[in-house]
Structure 1
């Protein structure tokens, strides 16, 4: 599929079941002048194809498709629309929204990027295959635009991530895998240009193969170079990929690729009304990932990225991957295709386990070997530290790896990707500084974004110069971070949360591509970043914290015991009233105690006894305290080792 260069020229192959003719449009080396328009001469089933003799890599091209204009039946062919090849591996310019892209019968040759025929794709270096230990989510442009150690000419690109200062920071945190927010070519949502805004996150792709030229001017070579550079540093690259919708949006959206080639096949439509698009994504339509041509395109895109050195993928709105006309299933075609693939089945696979369709929240219901973003972890931990009643038992379950979600399907704690904050929603700093969202800059009257964030403001909404409030916020951030890194499962942190990034109370900053929302490296809280590095180091030094099995409460000694601060066991009826508790872990000859105190008062602590052994405080999020006190609003970790007699109770 796509454009494949060979000794005799370039072969072009395009899927279109209902298209009557596919034209290949050739452009000069600037991409401006069309120099030829040639119908693909051959058709094998639903594949239109042909060989262009003498053509070579670097050729610029696009497509046009002729066929029925029958919107009531799902057909939206329009030969006036220039189309990007879904399999193009490189494009010559970014996508830009223009109303003419959505006007039937209006030529768009001056608006649509051209594909560039690529050469042979070499196998790129890949980091050693290992399970994620600490995932670091970042947006390429935002991460580097204000980084003074990065040359201005490459800021905001994949090349910027290869700068030594950037790698040193990531490696210094103890990150095992960097998860890149979407880097595939995208287009702004049609309402943004009139507001003077632009898509900053990239969750609106057009093509699943070509990288956005604003991030990767040299195309796939830039991603291959990044993967190879990070492999040398022992860090894997995970791509956040949007295999659920495209920038073509609803029936009033653009015709720039799949819609023009075969709208009825590529997108899901209502069975009782073939002209109505199914909108399980909230973006106007949904990819039909239960159909063979669409499954093939998705699989080919994933394999293409793997050849560039990518360690794995995070799937946006992952429930769409399992949908068909009969609903969601773990046996859906795309899951089956990935599961039988000898390479992709071994890649890191992470699902965002929801969409907005019927029964869309599917946390815990993805097939192995998928891991999942654990939104229950986020919500339970936030609510517990906010002070909501009756949450101690829930947060204890999350601390222990969320067996309630994953054990029944024989998936261990590593299936749970734990996070407190992600790219969407409040940042970690804003979570403890704002009781409500402040999205006024998005131009929608603060109506967009999630209304319930389980956040709190520590006595003042937003920025403040009050030292006591600032200290309380810092203490809460550290407690949240310690909870994250001491929990079983895979911790994920969004870039900048380690040093206090803010979105000024905006919990839906997808359209804020500007200096106020780019990471502020000059104002970074270096002490907080050092604390995150310490947490990652402690976690790595104590495998009990990241074990791949669930706790049983069995064994000799018991692998886990839940204790009150006085060292006595917690009865089932007591959980709802607890503000402080401990988890005693045993395994491989080691003993650890995780102690949590969310109250605003110090709590006396009695450490469990052990013959000829003593306890050592390994970590305290409050940066204070002694072995017999749990400081207010803190998390501590103790280790037991041979030495003196135990402290008296």
Structure 2
């Protein structure tokens, strides 16, 4: 039955979502198990009009064209169907639902108990939720006609810089109205800083519209990181002055204009609807049994967030690929970092590199050409899959993180493992199959200590999260140099700065793709909080105060990034024992001990060794580099590798100096020189 106020036609199943036509708006929504789907229109005063039943369904897609509707129309959906929670059917017509393909929402979603479709007792929830659910907006979004061209980044030059929109811009010296916003990121102060680092790629933390979890709201805390998505299309409104869609596009355009590649951290593994008795605002109300993984009447919670998207379902594969293409083609990003990527590579339950979603991405002519970075784990069975993703994906390498931390902490017996990680973790990214560049090397990430805290705290300090300091990693492989937290002791301050410089130099000289946590170049502290996901305050907002540490770290990153760009061998070496490079001329490497002679088997097996050096030479041997890593504080002098040569110091940490054909190490440090 049609409302007399609106005329409808059958419309089309494609494209999904709301699309403006010559005569009105076409709506197409996936809901395979619903017995009836309704379109709910809202007038300019927010009043809901009589629901319009969809008049046709084809292959699980409900569709119709509503004549006379225009751009800007606010709407929602309601789904009728069986209520059998034991079979994952929780249809409830009283719950207003967001269109999964909506490009814009009327407001930010805030959790409310009336959003639930089911009570704790397992009965249908009896309150209409329209008053506490954002309305989807009919909106045609197009790419900016004068968008700057994509920045082509050489794989050997790529360096990821992880940036939180609000955390980066909130304390910048910019106009107040730009603080904490998309446009603040591309203010002249923001762009000038990013360009000063010589990095290539901005990795934006989540910008999908997200919601604060129920338990955080009850604690009067906020979800700050954004890993709790409401929509896979609509951008987060709280980062905008006025229009999140336009301002996100302007941010990407501004970053491109400044010469940066832009990738977006995306959360396709779960949604903010959480457990079954929490919010039913979109996917749950439309097709709970299809969108979420379940078994024996229970959700499979492989994400630790209450639900996980069933990426073995065709509708989910299509939704995610459509979302990715939208963010590339229309919103302008150049790639993606996938949160909890193993969940995206599961079939019924098990992970496989041949999973439908992974293959769909890699065969897509648009998506396959973007920069794709996987977080290669989740908390489900066999959830640790580092090195096991298809070749088109880069992978975050936590083994690298832990090994480099242990080495610089001074742990014994680390030289063989350190060297393996330094050379691109070929134990994980095997020779002949993958480049070392597949390894995304990092020492710090958003989920953990900042680099300043890594050298300042031995224990986590998460009391501000109001979980009695139980959350976050317990083993951080950190070193506080004798005092927990901030100190006025100048010797300890210098030791901590030196350690940060050693970390950064190791990271940027390692084979592979480096990842830098935004704020580490400022020596930013989170006061020992290693799980600051709910701290939307000065704990997480970057501090832009000038300091000796900031100056030294900025200089180190800029200098070392210039070297990586000038000498690709520092990122990817071509060796004759690697079949991957059989059609390219071979470079040369030699490992050296503290006498600058070739490492022996006894040297490699000496657990007390804290010194390792190597020389790298490109194919034509026109240049030779000497790299030194020393993690002890006992003074040491090392002769040059070749008698009679001179060495140009390209970068060295404070305790190292070159005199009389020797490298003098007053204490731990890193050196790279050109012979």
TM-score (norm 2): 0.91
Mapping 1:394-433, distance limit 5 Å:
394-408=417-431, 410-433=433-456
Q: Identify which of 581, 586, 596 aligns with 2:617.
A: 586
Q: Is the 8 A contact 1:315 1:352 kept in 2?
A: yes
Post-superposition CA distance 1:311-352 (Å, at most 9, x none): 000000001111122511000000110111011111100000
Q: Identify which of 20, 23, 39 aligns with 1:8.
A: 23
Identify which range, 550-559 or 303-312, moves more after superposition: 550-559
1:293 aligns with 2:315: yes
Identify which range, 512-521 or 15-24, moves more after superposition: 512-521
The 3-state SS of whatever aligns with 1:61 is strand
Tell me the matched-pair count.
634
Q: Is the 8 A contact 1:401 1:550 kept in 2?
A: no
Shift in Å at residue 526 of structure 1? Answer: 2.8
Q: Identify which of 439, 456, 475 aligns with 2:498.
A: 475
Instruction: Quote the Cα distance in structure 2 between the aligned partners of 1:486 and 1:558.
Output: 16
Q: Identify which of 107, 127, 150 aligns with 2:128.
A: 107
Instruction: Quote the Cα distance in structure 2 between the aligned partners of 1:23 and 1:379.
Output: 52
1:528 aligns with 2:526: no
Instruction: Quote the Cα distance in structure 2 between the aligned partners of 1:113 and 1:449.
Output: 32
1:119 aligns with 2:140: yes
Instruction: Quote the Cα distance in structure 1 between the aligned partners of 2:31 and 2:587.
Output: 61
Shift in Å at residue 293 of structure 1? Answer: 0.5
- Shift in CA distance, 609/408, structure 1 to aligned 2, threshold 3 Å: closer
Matching residue of 2:249 = 224
Matching residue of 1:33 = 47
Matching residue of 2:9 = none
Instruction: Quote the Cα distance in structure 2 between the aligned partners of 1:88 and 1:291.
Output: 20
Shift in Å at residue 557 of structure 1? Answer: 9.1
Mapping 1:468-617, distance limit 5 Å:
468-522=491-545, 525-547=550-572, 549=574, 552=577, 559-575=588-604, 576-588=607-619, 589-609=622-642, 613-617=645-649
Instruction: Quote the Cα distance in structure 1 between the aligned partners of 2:535 and 2:176.
Output: 20
Matching residue of 1:44 = 58
Give every structure 1 segment of 4 or more consecutive aligned residues whose post-TM-superposition deviation is greater than 3 Å: 123-126, 548-558
Matching residue of 2:4 = none
Matching residue of 1:90 = 104
Identify which range, 566-575 or 499-508, moves more after superposition: 566-575
Where structure 1 has 5 or more consecutive residues not aligned to the other structure, the ranges are 641-649
Instruction: Quote the Cα distance in structure 2 between the aligned partners of 1:495 and 1:258.
Output: 33
The 3-state SS of whatever aligns with 2:524 is coil
Matching residue of 2:671 = 636
Shift in Å at residue 479 of structure 1? Answer: 0.5
Q: Is the 8 A contact 1:363 1:374 kept in 2?
A: yes
Shift in Å at residue 161 of structure 1? Answer: 1.1
Matching residue of 2:283 = 258
Matching residue of 1:177 = 201
Identify which range, 600-609 or 359-368, moves more after superposition: 600-609
Shift in Å at residue 522 of structure 1? Answer: 2.4
Post-superposition CA distance 1:475-498 (Å, at most 9, x none): 100011100011011111111100
Post-superposition CA distance 1:18-48 (Å, at most 9, x none): 1111111111235x22234211111112101
Q: Is the 8 A contact 2:522 2:543 kept in 1?
A: no
- Shift in CA distance, 65/538, structure 1 to aligned 2, threshold 3 Å: same
- Shift in CA distance, 76/409, structure 1 to aligned 2, threshold 3 Å: farther
Shift in Å at residue 583 of structure 1? Answer: 1.2
Matching residue of 1:80 = 94
Matching residue of 1:336 = 359
Q: Is the 8 A contact 2:656 2:669 kept in 1?
A: no
Where structure 2 has 5 or more consecutive residues not aligned to the other structure, the ranges are 1-15, 120-124
Matching residue of 1:386 = 409
Post-superposition CA distance 1:280-326 (Å, at most 9, x none): 10111110001100000000000000012110000000011111225
Q: Is the 8 A contact 2:656 2:671 kept in 1?
A: no
Shift in Å at residue 518 of structure 1? Answer: 0.8
Instruction: Quote the Cα distance in structure 1 between the aligned partners of 2:72 and 2:586.
Output: 66
The 3-state SS of whatever aligns with 1:49 is strand
Shift in Å at residue 252 of structure 1? Answer: 2.7
Q: Is the 8 A contact 1:552 1:560 kept in 2?
A: no
1:66 aligns with 2:80: yes
Shift in Å at residue 224 of structure 1? Answer: 2.0
Instruction: Quote the Cα distance in structure 2 between the aligned partners of 1:489 and 1:312.
Output: 18
- Shift in CA distance, 422/551, structure 1 to aligned 2, threshold 3 Å: farther
Mapping 1:130-141, distance limit 5 Å:
130=153, 131=155, 133-141=158-166
Post-superposition CA distance 1:98-123 (Å, at most 9, x none): 12222522211111111111125236
1:56 aligns with 2:56: no
The 3-state SS of whatever aligns with 2:306 is coil
- Shift in CA distance, 557/206, structure 1 to aligned 2, threshold 3 Å: closer
- Shift in CA distance, 551/406, structure 1 to aligned 2, threshold 3 Å: farther
Instruction: Quote the Cα distance in structure 2 between the aligned partners of 1:126 and 1:531.
Output: 30
- Shift in CA distance, 615/530, structure 1 to aligned 2, threshold 3 Å: closer
Q: Identify which of 209, 217, 223 aligns with 1:199.
A: 223
- Shift in CA distance, 284/548, structure 1 to aligned 2, threshold 3 Å: farther
Q: Is the 8 A contact 1:126 1:310 kept in 2?
A: no
- Shift in CA distance, 126/328, structure 1 to aligned 2, threshold 3 Å: farther
Shift in Å at residue 142 of structure 1? Answer: 1.0
Shift in Å at residue 631 of structure 1? Answer: 3.6
- Shift in CA distance, 36/602, structure 1 to aligned 2, threshold 3 Å: farther
Shift in Å at residue 606 of structure 1? Answer: 1.4
RMSD of aligned Cα (Å)? 1.8
Shift in Å at residue 550 of structure 1? Answer: 5.6
Matching residue of 1:645 = none
Instruction: Quote the Cα distance in structure 1 between the aligned partners of 2:576 and 2:170.
Output: 44
The 3-state SS of whatever aligns with 1:405 is coil
Instruction: Quote the Cα distance in structure 2 between the aligned partners of 1:444 and 1:109.
Output: 33
Instruction: Quote the Cα distance in structure 2 between the aligned partners of 1:391 and 1:284.
Output: 39
- Shift in CA distance, 301/246, structure 1 to aligned 2, threshold 3 Å: same
The 3-state SS of whatever aligns with 1:577 is coil
Instruction: Quote the Cα distance in structure 2 between the aligned partners of 1:614 and 1:558.
Output: 22
Instruction: Quote the Cα distance in structure 2 between the aligned partners of 1:126 and 1:388.
Output: 47
Instruction: Quote the Cα distance in structure 2 between the aligned partners of 1:366 and 1:26.
Output: 44
